[in-house]
Amino acid sequence: MTISEYAIIEKDLKKVATSMLQKASFSFLCTETYKSEKITDSIARGMNDLVAAIRTDNMFPIEPYATRIAESVKVLFDSADDNSVELFFDDVDLVAINKEPNLTAAAKP
């Protein structure tokens, strides 16, 4: 199994709508190749092991992305077909705007 990572590096493209991006907009970052046995064993041990197995020194996605990658890997390995999947992550999706103040902390008199 191989996972390749691409990213938008050009500043001019950072404010372009995702629907307008083209493959040429992305720069290659790295590729990791994994032995099928390692992935199959990790799937059998559970999602946490699979996430740990796909993370390397060169590719260490944050938790929400690592989980989505692991879920896709599991689906691919459960399928009888030789397939591939393309995942797209937009860091803007991680930003949550909270317009209300945090009211959980009690004020001390």
Q: Are 24 and 6 in contact (CB under 8 A)?
A: no
Q: Are 26 and 10 in contact (CB under 8 A)?
A: no
Token duo for residue 38: 């390692």
For 59-106, the pLDDT digits (tens) are 999 999 999 999 999 999 988 787 889 999 887 777 754 444 444 444
The structural domains of the chain, with segments of one domain joined by +, span 2-94
Q: Is the pLDDT of residue 15 over 90?
A: no
For 31-48, the pLDDT digits (tens) are 999 999 999 999 999 999
Place of tokens 């996605």: 61
Non-local CB neighbours of 34 within 8 Å, separated by 6+ positions: 1, 2, 3, 53, 54
